[in-house]
Structure 1
Amino acid sequence: MDGQPITDRELDRELARVVGQRPLTPVAIGQLREATLAQVVDRTLVAQHLEQTGFGATDQEIERELQRIRKRLEQQQLTLDQYLQRSGLTRDELRRTLAWQIAWPRFLEKHLTDPNLERYFQQHRRDFDGTQVAVAQILLRVESPDDPQSRAATISTADKLRSRITAGELTFADAARQHSVAPTAADGGRIGSIGRRGPMPEPFSQAAFALDTGQISPPVVTAFGVHLIQCLEVQPGTKNWQDARPELEAAVIQHLFRWAADRQREKVKK
């Protein structure tokens, strides 16, 4: 892309790394391949952004890393060409990998600062300060989870049910008792309090923490089916940004990656 091709071999290698030894259905592998391709494309965009904004690795830096690799290989009585053959890499692919390993930490060193961490915390406080959200859910089963049309039909059903609830035709609790397939249905869908990072699936938690008390989410898709979520109560947390530093750093790194990819994507479109 933008003069730098993404080969099937690179994609297959990254997919093998992600899948590992997990047994997956052909449909699941196809979905994972699409997600992996999107990740590889984004990393290529980020690498281009780093190169164009002064964070890219120089030829001298890459050569120094290659020399270190050669010395390590000599101790194993291997040449660089033998290593490349065993790894399924070309020299260009290895150089791109080394360039990334140099440039990305350099970019993070510039942007992953205490002021930026604190600013991100203030903007997303509820996600990091230990807030608990009491929620109820309506879970609708997708009859054929691998069929996009079946999933879309269930989302449409959830949308219509949400409209009936917000119009006052029935309460969320009554709708849960009548339509939810979750074990919580008999209790009006009440799950109890959840944290931002567990025990519910990430799409569920993300949607729940975006709600204020009384609000109902749009349909949320997880591996369990399609959910409607109602926020019953928000219990604020007490952590500061330093208490939450490990998870805060991980979130900011993801944010910076997406930000750089989006910036470069817009630039490529122009």
Structure 2
Amino acid sequence: MAMLGWLVLGAEAVPSIWAQGAGDPADASNPSNVVEDRATHAAPEDKPLAMLGRRPLTRQHVDLVLGRNPALGLPPLDPAVEKAAIALIAKRMQALQTLRKLKMAPDRPAILQWIARAQQVDAPEDWVQRTSQQWQVDPDTLLETLEFRLAWEQYLSKHLTEANLSRHFQNQRSRFDGTRFLISLVTAPAPAGSGPARDAVAEQLRDWAQSVTPPVEESASWSQPPPADWHCDVRRWVRGTGECDPWIVDAILRLEPGDPPAVIHSAAAVHAVWLHEQQPGERPFEQAQDDVRAHLLVYLLDYLAGQSARELPLQSVSE
């Protein structure tokens, strides 16, 4: 883990970021085609877990983003953690694509210069080779990891400001001020990325959610029982930070008590959420700053990723 210390940004390890636009499929020299061909003939541990555009996301990328050195023989990941890591990797690849368009990403010489300074080495190329071998990743993957880190830091220096933190609090006050929401939440596991399997789960959940009414108390039964692998939280009080995924809170904030359920997607599942009641909070900005900062990081990453998500869609891999 120490080797990845310099890759940590805030509390998160920076993942492999190597997004490029897809090129001409007939051009055998195009990097995207080389990657795709490599995936086709990959060893089992290198088989794609998902596809980002035409690029495979493999176990190596997940291990890198989570700081898991494969040489240590670590146990298998929980599927939900793996799916969340895949979603984070995809967002950062998409964000890097956007940062490149904004000309905020460093070129290779600048990255190597940064390595020489940060690692205090005279031959940064050798350091890249050694580190990529230790972590069993491609050197280009490691370099693009650093490319994202440096570009992201530059972007945050301009946008993660006190003025923007205050504005973010005002724009989403009920997320941060301690407002409590009484919700029912049903979660159906789904593959990472878009695809027919996830679409089928979403359609099944949507049809079911529209045909039932949540129980009036936690111990009561649903009028139509959900499938056994779905998880149900009935009439649970939550706040806007720390108790639900940000994307679930996004849906809650768009609802009024008594509205039909919202069906939304997260990294590992599809969710149906009902809002039953809402109690306003009174926490001031000064006490909420840490939560505001944490969410603004997510918001900014989503904003950048969204600008390149269409050209680099995250898609599930058929079994």
Q: 1:225 to 1:249 in 2, by over 3 A?
A: closer
Instruction: Tell me the amino acid that sits aligned with residue 13 of structure 1.
Output: Q
Q: Distance in 1 between matches of 2:269 and 2:303?
A: 30
Contact 1:121-1:241 within 8 A present in 2 as well: yes
User: How many Å apart are 1:52 and its aligned residue?
Assistant: 2.7
Contact 2:212-2:223 within 8 A present in 1 as well: no
Contact 1:221-1:227 within 8 A present in 2 as well: no
Pair 1:2-2:21 in alignment: yes
Contact 2:205-2:272 within 8 A present in 1 as well: no
Percentage identity across aligned positions?
19
Contact 2:215-2:222 within 8 A present in 1 as well: no
Any residues of structure 2 matched to 1:180-191 within 5 Å, and which? 191=235
Bigger radius of gyration: 1
Task: Say which of 188, 202, 207 aligns to 1:156.
Answer: 207
User: How many Å apart are 1:98 and its aligned residue?
Assistant: 2.1
User: How many Å apart are 1:90 and its aligned residue?
Assistant: 3.6
Instruction: Tell me the amino acid that sits aligned with residue 59 of structure 2.
Output: D
Q: 1:96 to 1:23 in 2, by over 3 A?
A: closer
- Partner residue in 1 for 2:262: 218
Task: Say which of 116, 130, 137 aligns to 2:178.
Answer: 130
Contact 1:57-1:102 within 8 A present in 2 as well: yes
What are structure 2's unaligned runs of at least 5 residues?
A: 1-19, 23-30, 40-45, 47-56, 69-73, 192-196, 227-232, 314-319
- Partner residue in 2 for 1:84: 132
User: How many Å apart are 1:138 and its aligned residue?
Assistant: 7.9
Q: Distance in 2 between matches of 1:138 and 1:38?
A: 21
| Secondary structure in 2 matching 1:215 | coil
- Partner residue in 2 for 1:248: 292
Q: Distance in 2 between matches of 1:190 and 1:41?
A: 32
Q: 1:267 to 1:115 in 2, by over 3 A?
A: farther
- The structure in which a higher percent of residues are strand is 2
Instruction: Tell me the amino acid that sits aligned with residue 211 of structure 2.
Output: K
- Partner residue in 1 for 2:93: 44
Pair 1:93-2:141 in alignment: yes
What are structure 1's unaligned runs of at least 5 residues?
A: 163-170, 183-188
| Secondary structure in 2 matching 1:237 | coil
Q: Deviations over 1:166-208 (max 9, x none)?
A: xxxxx9749x6562769xxxxxx97363222355666655544
Task: Say which of 99, 107, 122 aligns to 2:155.
Answer: 107
Q: Distance in 2 between matches of 1:96 and 1:224?
A: 29
Contact 1:62-1:95 within 8 A present in 2 as well: yes
User: How many Å apart are 1:256 and its aligned residue?
Assistant: 1.1
User: How many Å apart are 1:266 and its aligned residue?
Assistant: 5.7
| Secondary structure in 2 matching 1:121 | helix
- The structure in which a higher percent of residues are helix is 1
Q: Distance in 1 between matches of 2:243 and 2:312?
A: 39
Report which stretch shifted further, 85-94 or 6-15.
6-15
Report which stretch shifted further, 78-87 or 111-120.
78-87
Q: TM-score, normalised by structure 1?
A: 0.67
Q: 1:124 to 1:226 in 2, by over 3 A?
A: closer
- Partner residue in 2 for 1:229: 274
User: How many Å apart are 1:213 and its aligned residue?
Assistant: 3.3
Pairs aligned (count): 243
Q: TM-score, normalised by structure 2?
A: 0.58
User: How many Å apart are 1:56 and its aligned residue?
Assistant: 1.7
| Secondary structure in 2 matching 1:213 | coil
Instruction: Tell me the amino acid that sits aligned with residue 259 of structure 2.
Output: Q
